[in-house]
Every structure is written in structure tokens, then in C-alpha cells.
Amino acid sequence: MTPNTLVLGAGIVGRAAVWDLLRRGHQVTVADTDIGAAAAVGTEFGTRHVAADAGNGPTIAELFAAHDAVIAAVPYHYGIQLAATAIETRCHYFDFGGNPTIVAKQLERTGAAASAGVAVVPDCGLAPGLANVMAAGLVAQAEPNRVDSVQIRVGCLPQQPTGALHYDLAFHPDGLINEYDEPCEILEAGEPAVVQPLTRFEEVSWDKWGPLEAFATAGGASTMCRDFAGRINQLEYKTLRYPGHGQVFRSMRELGLFATETRTVGQAELAPRALLLDLLAENLPQGGPDVVLVRVELTSAGESVRVEFEDVHDGTFSALARTTAFPATAFCDLVTRGTVPFAGVASMVAAAPPDLLLEELEAVGIVATRR
């Protein structure tokens, strides 16, 4: 069987997804609103490319119907409609999620997806995604003991930070501000709870890259707070950054710069967030060598175990592109070939066997080490 897979979105993550799917023996089509971007990736890797707007329902439905699976590397707000289209056209669907509200809406369609015999799997990237699967693997190994704590720390950082923010723009700034503005899900005393983003700061040591700071951000826990309620006493996801970064963005949030409501300023009508996103896209460095750091620590029955990895730009793909795209392409391959027989809607942490997924990623140099 040669799976016929669509990659929707020809940005840095979509480009990496195309490469890995081809390496895995898929027939691949890459689609993007910008036909130039799709053509550049298609030409680079010798695969079919088309123009397609993720918001154009009829065009997307036609594309989905012609493929066995789709990996959607597009902004998260398309996720509800794209998942619905995948179910209607009986096409397996994988996206990178990141917004708990969107993912909750997708999960409501699990019965329809199961009846259609298709897998709809959001949160398939780095975090949410791979980091959560690593955590779930540790929880499974701790059974039957109740787990005291699971702490997940993840960051994508420039190898050579510059400016007051010490940050390079690694993906669309809308996704960044979404993480910094939405409520953050945690487990506290075994029960789901919510904390504010850009709070609960701590210092983190990391050889070569530290000291770092970590703080609460949204979406990175995926569905774990619902899936593991009563099984884990305390669970928390935090983002890693260089020291000082989080407080600057916290100040922006407190000043109202994340607000989406339109304001009248002089004779102009604008939303503060729209202006902030435009300025971030224009002024933050982009494309420099990056590093992705992931650390998951579990404490149970008085003992702790840690699993972590670091990944760097490999000369072809950024560390963020690699660690975001390759978990999705690996799981897509496992599902479309029937190795993991799953139908329905579930986050990757709920659907992917941890050992099998991590084994798949070793072939592309993403290797988690237990300490």
C-alpha cells in the first residue's frame, strides 16, 4: 500500500512534513493558498503541488476526498471545519492543535469519525504532541502507583539570542500570542484546574543553554488534564525561554496589547492585537539556528524519573520544524498503514503508543534519553 497524503500548508512545518512522508514512501501533494510557496516545496522534493485555501470548503472537500490522509499545517482556527470535512470525505486527519477550545470542539465529533472509519487526531506536534506522549509513557510505566507529579517543560529558542526578548519568531505570531493569552490547564490534587498564562515563573538549569526561565502557557498540556484526572495528583506544562522574556510579554498583556476588540485611536480603528502581531512579524528575527529543549519529569512513590531531549537545526530543517512535523508524519504513517488501528477523534497523547512513536522518531535523530 502506498498512502496518498495531502500536506495542507507549505510553511516550515509543512515543508518538513512533505520530506518525511516521502521518505516513508507516501505519495504526497502539498497545497497552500500561496501557489508560489506550494510550488517551491513541490519542486524541491519532486512532488505534486496545488493552490488551496484552507477556508474554501468546496475546494478542501474535493482535495480531502482524493487522499487517504491529510496533515494540516495551517493556523489552528481552521481546525473545526477541516476535521468535519475529513470525516465527511472519509480522510484521516492530523493537525498541530494548540488551542484547547478548538480541540474540545473536534473531540465532540468522535462518534461520527468512528462511524466513518477515520482517525481525526489534533495536537500532533511538539507540545501539544510529542512531549505529552513522552509524559504518558512515563505514567504507563509507573502503574499501578498513583503518580504524584508530572512536570513538562518545552522551549524553542534561538541558539544566539538577541534583543530584549531574546527570541526569534519561529512560527506565526498569532500562535505565540494564543499560548500567552489563553487559560492554562493543570491538574491540582488530582482535579483539573486553570491558571493564568505568563505566571508561575521558575528558573530552570540546562547544560549549555541555561539558565532558563519557565512559565505557564496555554495548550501544551493537550488533553492530559482530562485524560489523567484522578490518576496524577499534579500536572503542569510550562514554556522555556531565556530569562526576562516572559515578564516583557506579561507587561504587554497587562497593558491590553493582546486585546482583539477594535479601538478608536485618533481617526483610526484597530485592534491592539492586530497591531502587535504585525509588529512582531516585522521586527523579530527569523530563520536563525534554533534549538528545541524538552524535559518531562515524573515523581511517583517517592522516586523521580526524567526523560529529555534536545534537537538543533540540521542544516535543512529547523529544530522546531523537525520536532513539530515528524511526530505528525510518524503517526500518520502508523495509522494509514494500519499499524495503529484507530478510528475516532482523540489527541495524539490519547491515541499514540508512546514506545512505538518514539521508536519511529529515532530514525530522524529525535532521541529521548531517560535520566
Report pLDDT digits (tens) over 191-202. 999 999 999 999
Residue 287 has pLDDT above 90, yes or no: no
Residues 250-275, mean pLDDT to the nearest whole number: 95
- Could you count the other beta carbons within 10 Å of the beta carbon of residue 364? 20
User: Cβ(26)–Cβ(335) under 8 Å?
Assistant: no
**Would you state the pLDDT for residue 371?**
84
Q: For residues 182 and 15, what is the distance between their CA atoms, to the nearest angstrom?
A: 28
Q: For residues 227 and 350, what is the distance between their CA atoms, to the nearest angstrom?
A: 8
Q: Given the DSSP bridges, would you call strands 202-204 and 212-216 parallel, antiparallel or unpaired?
A: antiparallel
Domains in the chain, start-ordered, CATH in brackets?
4-124+320-370 (3.40.50.720), 130-244+285-319 (3.30.360.10)
- Could you count the other beta carbons within 10 Å of the beta carbon of residue 276? 17
* Percent of all residues in the chain with a pLDDT value above 90, rounded to a whole number: 92
Residue 171 has pLDDT above 90, yes or no: no
Cell numbers standing for residue 313:
537545526
> What is the per-residue pLDDT across 2-45, written as a single tens digit (0 to 9) for each?
999 999 999 999 999 999 999 999 999 999 999 999 999 999 99
Cell numbers standing for residue 188:
491540582
pTM of structure: 0.94
Confidence of residue 215 (pLDDT cuts 50, 70, 90): very high
